[in-house]
Structure formats: structure tokens, C-alpha cells
Amino acid sequence: MLSLARRIADQQGGETAAVVLGHNLGDCAADLARFGADRVYLADDERLAAYATLPYTRVLADLVRAREPRLVLAGYTVMGRDLMPRVAARLGTGLFTDCTGLELDGTEPVFTRPIYAGKAFVRGMAASGPALATIRPNVFPVQPPDDGRTAAVEMVQVDLPPADLRVVVREVMRAVSARPELTEADIIVSGGRGIKGPENFKILEELADCLGAAVGASRAAVDAGWIEQRFQVGQTGKTVSPVLYIACGISGAIQHLAGMGSSKCIVAVNKDPEANIFKVADYGIVGDLFEVVPEMTAVCREMKAQG
């Protein structure tokens, strides 16, 4: 998002600012500056240590109202999907969600977002006020860091009324895994109904571990109870845009395609040559995944062994 904001600001001759909310934030400004921030707003308060909707909404909405930026971007993540609609409502403005394109028409930002589960795209502009948008992860490229850039740091006063603290996060429990988080992974290996059972996800996990990839699943696999819902990719799961998406035994229902269709490269493995997944795949392998995937893993290990 910083790279995207930097590009837009350079075209307009404007400034790019990053907003960081949390506690004990340390020296994060230098790293944000390297990727394009001219200014960094730090909201450092122990009440912001864990994400909670009302406090974060209050701080961000007050900051936007005070600084009056023309464009506000956030990630189309679980947090972004919860936070940004509330900020938009607080500011009395609209919100473009799950954007996969952003360009300028003169001086006005034009947003592109998929609709109808990715079957069509709509382009729109903000009618008034700041333009708020959530951006699909991994859609826009990251610009090379500039070690010579510096950013001005401004501390944000955190003023939270008791009503905003009705819900307090006492503890955050994270699943321990050596694999990358699904929405941040560059490579994802996903399984669907064709995996036939929970015990067979081990085949996908072996390939994923060799590639340094995350493991995903279709809704069919999740509904069957073969894997937890947090691994689900699709319209009712997580939206991902990895560099490489390997779909194993996934038919290609429109619900699933909506969550991974923007992947840079899609490889499909399915024994049904008429499977819908092949319509969006860059590379298709018609074959039994129980034979193809282990062979892919073996080739991966051989290549790694050769350096």
C-alpha cells in the first residue's frame, strides 16, 4: 500500500503518510520511510496493544478528520474489512472495498474492484470527502526500498471515551506454524474435494513445506470437516493473491475463483479435463493428484538438493 500510495503521490506532487496504531511501537518510522512514507503518525497507547474495533475506529477517524487526506488506503484483510466500513460511516463518506486497481483520472483516484464473484469489474470515483479504499493484498507490486529516505514522525494523541472500551481484548492466541500466513504467502498449495479425506492433506503439506508455501482449501474441503475454516480460500473464506497458486483436486466453483482468481500464476491439478479450474489456470495438469503432487514434491526436493 505504501508503494501504491507513493506512486499516486508522486503523480500528484503530494505527500504519503503511514499510520501505525499499537503499543511499544519502537522505531518503525525508518522502515516505513524506506518504502515511501514522507510522514509517520504513531498512535502509541497500551489500550491499542491488541486490535479492537471501537478504539481503532475512533483514533483513525479523528486523525483523518483532522488531517483531511485525499486518499486513505487499508488492506482488505480481516482487520481492514472490520475497521474501514466503520471509519467511513464515522466520516460520512463512502468506501471502495477489495480494490484490485487504482489509477488517476486527472487528479481524482479511480478504483477498480471485482463484482459478482469476479465475473465483472466496476470502476468508481469518490463523489466527495476523502476517498477510502481497502486494497486486495499482493495485487500491487512493492517498489524497491530507498535507504536514503527519511520520514517525519508525529505522535497522535489517543483520547478514548469509556464507551469505546466496552470490549477489551485480554489475550490473543495464535496458531503456531512454520508455514507463512495464508493471506501473506507468495505460494499457496490448496486442496479440494478431490483430496478425498483429511489424512490426505499431508500430501499437500509436504509439497508446501518444500516450496515454503502456505496450505489452503476450498469450501468443499472445509464443509466436509477435513481442515479448519481458517484455511478456506474463496468468497466466504480468505481472498489471496499469491505469486503461485497450486490448486489440487479443486473443481473451480465460482465461489473459490473469487478468492484466488487474481493470483499471478495458477497451476491446476485435476483428473477431470472439463473442470472449471482449467479455464483460469495458466498451467493445467490432467491427472490423479495422488500421483502428480508427490512427483512435484520429489522434483522440488531434487532441485533444492542441487542448490
Do residues 209 and 183 make contact, with C-beta atoms less than 8 angstroms apart? no
> Which has the closest alpha carbon to 246: 207, 287, 302?
207
Describe the strand order of the beta sheet including 39-44 as a list of residue ranges: 17-22, 39-44, 152-155
Q: How far apart are CA 40 and CA 242, in angstroms?
A: 28
pLDDT on residue 51 = 93
Domain made up of 182-305: CATH architecture: 3-Layer(aba) Sandwich (3.40)
Task: Report the predicted TM-score, pTM, of the whole model to 2 decimal places.
Answer: 0.80
Give pLDDT tens digits along the chain (307 positions): 999 999 999 998 889 999 999 999 888 888 999 999 999 999 999 999 999 999 999 999 999 999 999 999 999 988 999 999 999 999 999 999 999 999 988 888 999 998 887 778 999 998 877 899 999 888 888 889 999 999 999 999 999 999 999 988 888 877 677 788 898 899 999 999 999 999 999 999 999 999 999 999 999 999 999 999 999 999 888 989 999 999 999 999 998 998 998 899 999 999 999 999 999 999 999 999 999 999 999 999 999 998 7
The DSSP element (H or E) to which 96 belongs, if any, is: strand 95-99
In this prediction, residue 8 carries a pLDDT of 92
Q: What's the burial of 177, exposed, middle or buried (CB within 10 Å: 0-12/13-18/19+)?
A: exposed
Q: So what's the pLDDT on residue 236?
A: 86
Give the H or E element holding residue 121. Answer: strand 120-124
Write down the pLDDT at residue 235: 85
Q: What does the pLDDT read at residue 49?
A: 92
pLDDT at 221: 96
Of 203, 233, 239, the C-alpha closest to 218 is 233
121-148 in b/e form (b: 16+ CB < 10 A) is eeeeebeeebbbbbbbbbbbeeeeeeee
pLDDT at residue 7, rounded to an integer: 92
pLDDT for 126: 86
pLDDT at 153: 94
How high is the pLDDT of residue 138?
A: 82
CATH 3.40.50.620 maps onto the chain at 2-165
- pLDDT value at residue 41: 96
| Cα–Cα distance measured from residue 283 to residue 46, given in angstroms and rounded to the nearest whole number | 49
Please check whether the domain covering 2-165 is classified as CATH 3.40.50.620: yes
- Confidence (pLDDT) at 141: 86
For CATH 3.40.50.1220, the residue range(s) in the chain are 182-305
